[in-house]
Amino acid sequence: MRYLLLSVIFSIAFLVLSIWLPNLSFIKNTVFSTSLSPDRKMDILTASLWAIKTNFTPLSRTLAITTAILFGINFSLLVYYLKLKLEGAKAISSGLGGMFFAILGSGCASCGSVILTSLLGVSATVSLVYTLPLRGNEFGIASLVILGLSTFLLAQKINQPIACAPKVVQQPKS
């Protein structure tokens, strides 16, 4: 139950981050503004969450929501896994890879990806994104695949028994 709640919290947090990502400075200025009343701040922040409707295409919206759900599950599984103190560099690294792609893809909503333009510049991003058949949503799909794989690997690791496997000692033939 605790991990289910953790999944929900991290899914919502990731989705909110995806929506706010292009406007982090605006959100920060709103939160810390001394001229805005708390009510006004709350109105702006809640209204901006509806950008999931206005600033996303149906495909990018579906990808963002699905990625957020998978991200939440993946993250809580990772926490559970680390708590069991199991070693699993492979599962952890694929989980982090999925999270990286999820964040990279989440900026591909309005015209021009936020993260990609920061990495490649506006012109290079436009050239890259417009050669892709899904106009940059490929990053979102890649994140879904990697997060799905990571969740599967983590679930497998968690299902393995914690006890050490006994070593099989081969008796020398006499």
Partner 1 sequence: MFALKQKPRVEDKVEGVVKTASNTNINAEGSPFIGRADAPLTLYYWFDFQCSFCKQFDEEVLPVLVDKYIDPGKLKVIFMNYQFLGPDSQRAGIVGQAVWEASPENYPKWHQAVFQKQDNSNSGWGNEADIMELVRSIREINLGNVLQLTLKNETAYREKINRDKDEGVRFNIKTTPSVLIGGQVIRGAQPIAVYTEVIDSLL
Which residue ranges make up the site for partner 1 (CB under 8 A)? 22-23, 25-26, 29, 35-36, 40, 43-44, 47-48, 50-51, 53-55, 57, 109-114, 117-118, 122-123, 125-126, 130
Of residues 15 and 147, the one with the C-beta less far from partner 1: 15
- Nearest approach in angstroms of CB 52 to partner 1 is 9
Of residues 4 and 122, the one with the C-beta less far from partner 1: 122
34 secondary structure, DSSP code: S
Residue 139 · residue 101 · CB < 8 Å: yes
* Cα distances (Å, whole numbers) of residue 60 to 4, 16, 109, 161, 163: 25, 14, 6, 39, 43
- Nearest approach in angstroms of CB 30 to partner 1 is 8
Of residues 113 and 151, the one with the C-beta less far from partner 1: 113
Half-sphere exposure of 38 (CA within 13 A, CB side): 0
Tokens linked to 118? 């920061």
Residue 63 · residue 148 · CB < 8 Å: no
- Nearest approach in angstroms of CB 5 to partner 1 is 29
Of residues 17 and 126, the one with the C-beta less far from partner 1: 126
Of residues 4 and 121, the one with the C-beta less far from partner 1: 121
CB under 8 A, 24+ apart: contacts of 114-118: 114/21, 114/22, 115/21
- Nearest approach in angstroms of CB 55 to partner 1 is 4
Residue 150 · residue 97 · CB < 8 Å: yes
- Nearest approach in angstroms of CB 147 to partner 1 is 24
